[in-house]
Structure 1
C-alpha cells in the first residue's frame, strides 16, 4: 500500500497541475464590467463622439440623395467633404451640431493605417468613387425622376407599392453609396485602423497605458480612446451605447443595422453578442494591461464584422435571384444595388492574424464587373446563374455556406 501511495502522489500532483492549466484563462484576472462602462477617478473614460458625428453625417447624406426638390450636386459633395471645392467651411447639414463639426465623411473613407498608408492612389480612387455616384444621382437620375426606367434609360421602376430610382444599368446610386460606406468608412476604420496594433501601440502608447498616463486634457489613455473609437463605428448611435445589443439593428442604417439583420438569422444569432463581448473584454484588457487578450478580442471583432459584410453580400444576390424568378424586377434591382455596396465593402474586411481582406480590391471589382457583364444593359440582362456563381465565389472565402447566408 505504501508503494502504491508513493506512486499515486506524483501522479495526482501532475493531474492537479494539468487541470489548473486547462482551466486557467488569460482573462481570469481581468475585471470585465457587465456593460461598456469604464471609469477613472469616478469619471467615464469612454469617448467616441467623432464616430457618432460621422454616422449622422452619412445618414443625412443618404437622405439627401433622394431629395429631388432640394438636393444639388454641390450640396451632396459638400456633405461628403464638409467643405466646398476650395476647402472653405460650409453648412450643408440640417443638424447644426454637424455643421459646427470639423470632421467629414471623405477624410475617413479608405483611410486606415494598415490598408492605405502605403496605397494612397487606391485611397484616392475609392474616395472618388463615392463622388462619382453622387454626381450620377443628380445628373442621370434626378432629371428622369418621373420617367419609367428601361434598359439603358434611367428613371423610376415599381417596387411593390413604391418606386425605386435607378440609372441606365438598373443600379440605385443612393444604395451604392450607403452600403459601400459600411466597408469604406465604418469597417475600414474599425478593423484596419483603430483595432490595429500599429495604431493601438503607436509611439509610447503601451508605456503610457501601463502607467495610467492620460491624453492631454482627457480622462482616457490614448490606447483606451483608440479602442473606443472602433466601438463607436458600430455602437456610436445606440439608444444605450453602454448596453447596445438590446436595440441592435435599429440605431442607424449602417453596420449597426446589418449586424442586427445577420443576428436575426439562426445560423448567426450570437454575432451581435460576440462583437459586443469582444469589445468589452478587449477594453477591460487594455485597462489591465493585458495586450495579448486585447489582440485576441480584436481578432474576434475583425472576423465577425467581416462576416456581417460577407453574409449580406451573398444574401442580397440570392434575394435578387428569387425576385427575378418571381418577375419582381424593381425589388431585384433594389437588392442588387444593396448587394453592390456590400460586395464593394468586402475589400475592407480583415482576415484575423493578417493584414489582408477576405477579398482584395481587384477580386471585389471583378465580381462587380461580372454582375453587370451579362449584357450591355447591366442588371437588365443579368442571368440568375451568374448570381449563383458570384454568391459561391464570396461564400467560399468565408466559413459560412451560400445556403446559410441566403436564409436570413
Structure 2
C-alpha cells in the first residue's frame, strides 16, 4: 500500500496529524517515494546501517555516576573522574566503560547550534555540574545520618524513601540527574545531531546522495548523525527498533518521555517522536532533505515539550504537598529538586518558531534564584505563590496549560 501526501510544503502539522507511517507504508511526497519501514530498521546490502553505541555508553556512564552519588563513601575525585572519564581509567565497575574514550563532560552543553560560539557559557554550565558533585561530597555526605533542618544538610523521610538534602533542601543527585537530561541528552539530540549544521556539514549531502559510507562502516555520515540523536532518546530500550514497548528504559530522557506519555493530556507524544525519527531517517535514505528537516523540527518541538511539562509538573506537585496542614518536607524537596533540574534544562530546549531556547540561561538563572529566594534557607522557605508564578511563566511559553502539565 502507498499513501499519497501532497504537497511537501504542507508543513509539520499535516505530517503530525496524518499517522503516515505507523504500519510501515511507503509515503509519496511531491511525487517522490519514501520507503518508510514499520520499525527503526535500515539496511544496506543486507546489513544494518543504524549505530548509536556511543550514546548508549554515555547513558550507562550516567547510570553509574548517579549510583555513586548515593554512596556516601564516594570521594569527590572519584565522582568528578566518572564525569570526565579518560580512556582506560578504572572509573566504573563496567570494564567496557573504563575502556571507552567517551565521557559525559565533553558532551555537556556541547551542541553546535548553541555552544560552538559560546564557550564561556559552556564552561559555566560544566562548572555547575562539578560544583553539584562537590556539594554532595562536602555537605551532604558528612550529614548523611543526621536529620535535616532549615539551613542544615541531612536526611528527611519521604514515605518509605529517605531523601538526602543540602542546607537549602536540594537533593543534589536529583538536581544533577534532571539537569543532565537537558544539558547532555536534549542538547545533543535536538541542537546538535538534528541540526542542519551537523547533518549537512562538509560533503555530507554529496556523500549521502552518492551512498558513500564512512571508512569501515556501513552508514553514511548523515545517516549516523541522525541515529546518534535517536540514541540519546532510545539508546537503552530493549528493542531500539521498536522502543515504545518499554518506555522508561533509562534514568534520563526516555524515562520522562514515558511519564509524559502516561499523562492523558499528552498521550501520543511518544509515537509522534518515534514516527518522526523513523520518517526522517527514511527521508535521508531517499535523499529528501526537506522532509528530513520537517521531521527534525517536530522532534525538537516534542522533546522540548517534555522538559517544559515536567518542570511544571514537579513545581505543582510540590505546591500540593506544601499546602497541606503538615507537609512532608522530604516529599516537597524531592519534587522541587527534580523541578530545579528540569527548570535548569529549559535553556537547552528549542522553540522551532525562533530556533532558540524557550528560556535562555539568564532567564533560567533568574527562575532558579526565584525558587530559592523566598528566604535565607532556600527550599525551606519557598511559598506556593512562588511555585505558581514559576509554573505559569513556563506553561505560558509553551503550547500547553498549567493544568494539563500539573496532573
The aligned residue for residue 120 of structure 1 is: 119
3-state SS of 1:165 partner: strand
Q: CA–CA distance in 2 between the matches of 1:101 and 1:27?
A: 45
Given that residues 194 and 230 in structure 1 are in contact (C-alpha distance below 8 angstroms), is that contact kept between their aligned partners in structure 2?
A: yes
Equivalent in 47, 56, 61 of residue 57 of structure 1: 61
The aligned residue for residue 263 of structure 2 is: 265
Q: Give every structure 1 segment of 4 or more consecutive aligned residues whose post-TM-superposition deviation is greater than 4 Å.
A: 19-24
Task: Say yes or no: does 1:217 pair with 2:220.
Answer: no
Q: CA–CA distance in 1 between the matches of 2:317 and 2:234?
A: 27
The aligned residue for residue 163 of structure 2 is: 164
The aligned residue for residue 51 of structure 2 is: 47
Equivalent in 306, 310, 313 of residue 311 of structure 2: 313
CA gap of 1:339–1:20, structure 2 versus 1, over 3 A, is: closer
Q: CA–CA distance in 1 between the matches of 2:188 and 2:353?
A: 17
String of CA shifts for 1:21-51, please: whole Å, max 9, x gaps.
Answer: 6997448611100000000000000000000
3-state SS of 2:397 partner: coil
The aligned residue for residue 78 of structure 1 is: 81
Given that residues 209 and 223 in structure 1 are in contact (C-alpha distance below 8 angstroms), is that contact kept between their aligned partners in structure 2?
A: yes
String of CA shifts for 1:218-245, please: whole Å, max 9, x gaps.
Answer: 1000000000000000100101000001
RMSD (Å), alpha carbons: 1.5
Given that residues 347 and 361 in structure 1 are in contact (C-alpha distance below 8 angstroms), is that contact kept between their aligned partners in structure 2?
A: yes
String of CA shifts for 1:123-161, please: whole Å, max 9, x gaps.
Answer: 011011000000110000000011111111000011112
3-state SS of 1:29 partner: strand
Task: Say yes or no: does 1:380 pair with 2:383.
Answer: no
Q: CA–CA distance in 1 between the matches of 2:308 and 2:128?
A: 21
The aligned residue for residue 282 of structure 1 is: 280
Corresponding pairs, count: 383
Given that residues 65 and 83 in structure 2 are in contact (C-alpha distance below 8 angstroms), is that contact kept between their aligned partners in structure 1?
A: yes
The aligned residue for residue 71 of structure 2 is: 67
Q: Return the offset for 1:277.
A: 0.2
Task: Say yes or no: does 1:402 pair with 2:405.
Answer: no
String of CA shifts for 1:161-180, please: whole Å, max 9, x gaps.
Answer: 22100000000110111000
Q: Return the offset for 1:200.
A: 0.1
Give the greater-gyration-radius structure (CA). Answer: 1
String of CA shifts for 1:73-98, please: whole Å, max 9, x gaps.
Answer: 11100000003xxxx85211011110
Given that residues 115 and 355 in structure 1 are in contact (C-alpha distance below 8 angstroms), is that contact kept between their aligned partners in structure 2?
A: no
Given that residues 89 and 99 in structure 2 are in contact (C-alpha distance below 8 angstroms), is that contact kept between their aligned partners in structure 1?
A: no
CA gap of 1:117–1:62, structure 2 versus 1, over 3 A, is: same
Q: CA–CA distance in 1 between the matches of 2:217 and 2:31?
A: 27
Q: Return the offset for 1:329.
A: 1.2
Q: Return the offset for 1:252.
A: 0.3
The aligned residue for residue 339 of structure 2 is: 339
Q: CA–CA distance in 2 between the matches of 1:400 and 1:366?
A: 22
Q: Return the offset for 1:355.
A: 2.9
The aligned residue for residue 24 of structure 2 is: none
Given that residues 6 and 29 in structure 2 are in contact (C-alpha distance below 8 angstroms), is that contact kept between their aligned partners in structure 1?
A: no
Given that residues 299 and 353 in structure 1 are in contact (C-alpha distance below 8 angstroms), is that contact kept between their aligned partners in structure 2?
A: no
Of 345-354 and 179-188, more deviation after overlay is shown by: 345-354
3-state SS of 2:33 partner: coil
The aligned residue for residue 14 of structure 1 is: none
The aligned residue for residue 390 of structure 2 is: 390
The aligned residue for residue 4 of structure 1 is: none
TM-score (norm 2): 0.92
Q: CA–CA distance in 1 between the matches of 2:31 and 2:383?
A: 51
Alignment of 1:135-214 (within 5 A): 135-214=134-213
Unaligned residue ranges in structure 1 (runs of 5+): 1-18
Q: Return the offset for 1:351.
A: 1.2
3-state SS of 2:265 partner: helix
TM-score (norm 1): 0.92
3-state SS of 1:225 partner: helix
3-state SS of 1:220 partner: coil
Q: CA–CA distance in 1 between the matches of 2:88 and 2:52?
A: 23
Given that residues 82 and 90 in structure 1 are in contact (C-alpha distance below 8 angstroms), is that contact kept between their aligned partners in structure 2?
A: yes
